[in-house]
Structure 1
Amino acid sequence: KLEEVLHWCIDLGVEVLTVYAFSTENFNRDPDEVDYLMELLERSLYDFADDQRVHENHVAIKVIGDTELLPDNVVKAAEYAIERTSGYTDRHLNMAIAYGGRQDITNAVRRIAQEVVDGKIDVSDINEHLISGYISTYGVPDPDLVLRTSGELRISNFLLWQMAYSELYFADVYWPGFRYIDLLRAIRTFQQRKRRYGK
């Protein structure tokens, strides 16, 4: 499904796609299910890294999340995908694996605090722009649209810092059944909204 959605986004001219592939909370699932999902993620990373369309369209693959929580085979696959697409800047596929929005912010705060202790940053220098530089998606624009499938009306700890001004769209369809028409409906709804960024 992710491969389908990536190709749809390429066709539609979407430049950045971030997918919540596996949350930190997902580790609480049945161990057999976690192992199976890790195998799927490993295979997906290799498949994307070798996908002809990924290379034709210069899609840079990035994995965001706490990779220390991942098994070695998934880390190796992630490193392979990142290396194979490292020179690309036209489009971005961010795969959030072992990711949590609160964890992302916590890690940023921890790194900033260490730099304050080390004398590299003054407390008075800390602002939104500086914090954004320590968030996992640094260098990639914040999402314009966040699309949630499965009919759930919550964001489930996803990109909490980054989605401050994102438009939210909730699709009443489960991820495996997500169709091209569902993506088009989300984009059409987004296009009809007036974005005021708090103004």
Structure 2
Amino acid sequence: DMTRRRRRDDAKGACARGADALLTTLRRLILRALRRGATPRHIAVIMDGNRRYARTRELRASRGHEAGAATLDALAAWSFELGADVLSVYALSTENFKRTREELEELFDLVCDRLEAMGESAAVREYEARVHVSGDLDALPKRVRDAARAVMRATWTHKGPMLNVCLGYTGREDIVRAIGDVRDGVKNGELRASDADERVVEACLHGCERFGDVSRCDEGRQCLTTATTWAVMPEVDLLVRTSGETRLSDYMLYNARFAALVFVNALWPEFTFMHMVYCVCKYQCAARELRRARASYARARDDGVDQEHVLSNAVAEVNIRDVEDKTIANASSSSLTTISPRAKSFIAMRLERITGKIFQVR
């Protein structure tokens, strides 16, 4: 009896593994087919509905967050297979700090566990993804800060796409902090007031520090970036919110100016591959109009800029994937070639300060 039961269990396990392998292959084929059309370079997700998911199943809130974390692992693999350069996820807003102390402690414990496991997750390893944590880390408990900096250090030299985890983040705080950095740069003489334009503000938004190439690493303790090939994080192309809510909740307010907004009725732990396909198809339907709007904005912003910069910006600022011939514009949304040497120097110094803090360089 024991032998028969063991054989039956082995057969069930083999069938399950075969079915999983077949589903994985089918998903990859579908994603490759989608890549023949316009695909989003930067996907942002508001992961909403974990608590409702747990409540409807009479579970603790922490179990809902755990189920949501598993969905994030799957979404990262799908997004990177699709060809996205950045996946930004709204993991924890400063508004979430108003929850009960018990739930916050459980949530912080889960965040620590997920950050510690993220560096070794299948999607990060397979696609050599960089993990970055954006937001006001100083407002988070020390254990969360330590876990965030540890996973950033562990994946700092990876050359693949970026998984941008927003913790203690709000879009308004991001804009205010970026403008404050520029103001301080002018006040300290690192930057001229005439150099403080929109491109410099963009350079100071959360996440941009991970778009510098690593130029020096000292036994994993010190990594500095070079400003010669530095570029800002691409603007959001597709912003998805789950749970049926139709609001942005102060997320990516600056970055999502020309994003396709897709609201999905499923709770976040229930978000499936077919929901992902639906969202990408909605983006592809809107891609042409979004491209035109972004190009029009770029032309308007370039009024008054030296002519030698206008042509480069016309390509660099649009930041699109051409719908007709499927060619990818190999330029980021804002390049250091379009701003002054003093502004480049200011950005480089700022990157060194941020990098030093992550690596605790004194």
The TM-score bracket by the shorter chain reads over 0.9
Match of 1:74 in 2: 144
Match of 2:263 in 1: 170
Q: Deviations over 1:53-93 (max 9, x none)?
A: 41231100000000001111111111111111111132100
The one-letter amino acid of 1:34's match is L
Give the secondary-structure state (helix, strand or coil) at the position aligned to 1:197. helix
Structure 2 residue 132 is the aligned partner of structure 1 residue 39: no
How far apart in 2 are the matches of 1:114 and 1:15? 31
Matches within 5 A, 1:109-128: 109-128=179-198
Give the secondary-structure state (helix, strand or coil) at the position aligned to 2:102. helix
Match of 1:63 in 2: 133
Match of 1:92 in 2: 162
Shift of 1:161: 1.0
Give the secondary-structure state (helix, strand or coil) at the position aligned to 2:205. coil
Asked if structure 2 preserves the Cα contact closer than 8 Å seen for 1:61 and 1:93, the reply is yes
Shift of 1:8: 1.9
Match of 1:133 in 2: 203
How far apart in 2 are the matches of 1:10 and 1:127? 32
Match of 1:197 in 2: 293
TM-score computed with the length of structure 2 as normaliser: 0.53
The one-letter amino acid of 1:169's match is V
Shift of 1:48: 1.0
Structure 2 residue 111 is the aligned partner of structure 1 residue 18: no
The one-letter amino acid of 1:19's match is V
Structure 2 residue 243 is the aligned partner of structure 1 residue 150: yes
Asked if structure 2 preserves the Cα contact closer than 8 Å seen for 1:58 and 1:88, the reply is yes
Asked if structure 1 preserves the Cα contact closer than 8 Å seen for 2:243 and 2:267, the reply is yes
Gaps in structure 1 of 5+ consecutive residues = none
Match of 2:321 in 1: none
- Greater displacement, 162-171 / 96-105: 162-171
Shift of 1:162: 0.8
Shift of 1:52: 4.1
How far apart in 2 are the matches of 1:14 and 1:50? 20
Gaps in structure 2 of 5+ consecutive residues = 1-70, 209-231, 297-362
Tell me how large the CA RMSD over aligned residues is.
1.3
Shift of 1:132: 0.3
Give the secondary-structure state (helix, strand or coil) at the position aligned to 1:96. strand
Asked if structure 2 preserves the Cα contact closer than 8 Å seen for 1:55 and 1:85, the reply is no
The equivalent position to 2:280 in structure 1, one of 147, 163, 187, is: 187
- Greater displacement, 117-126 / 177-186: 117-126
- Greater displacement, 50-59 / 18-27: 50-59
Asked if structure 1 preserves the Cα contact closer than 8 Å seen for 2:94 and 2:169, the reply is yes
The one-letter amino acid of 2:129's match is V
The one-letter amino acid of 1:197's match is A
Runs (4+) off by over 4 Å: none
Give the secondary-structure state (helix, strand or coil) at the position aligned to 2:113. helix
* CA separation of 1:186 and 1:53: change in aligned 2, threshold 3 A: closer
Match of 2:73 in 1: 3
Q: Deviations over 1:111-148 (max 9, x none)?
A: 11111111222222221111101111223211110111
Match of 2:52 in 1: none
How far apart in 1 are the matches of 2:83 and 2:101? 38
Aligned residues: 199
TM-score computed with the length of structure 1 as normaliser: 0.95
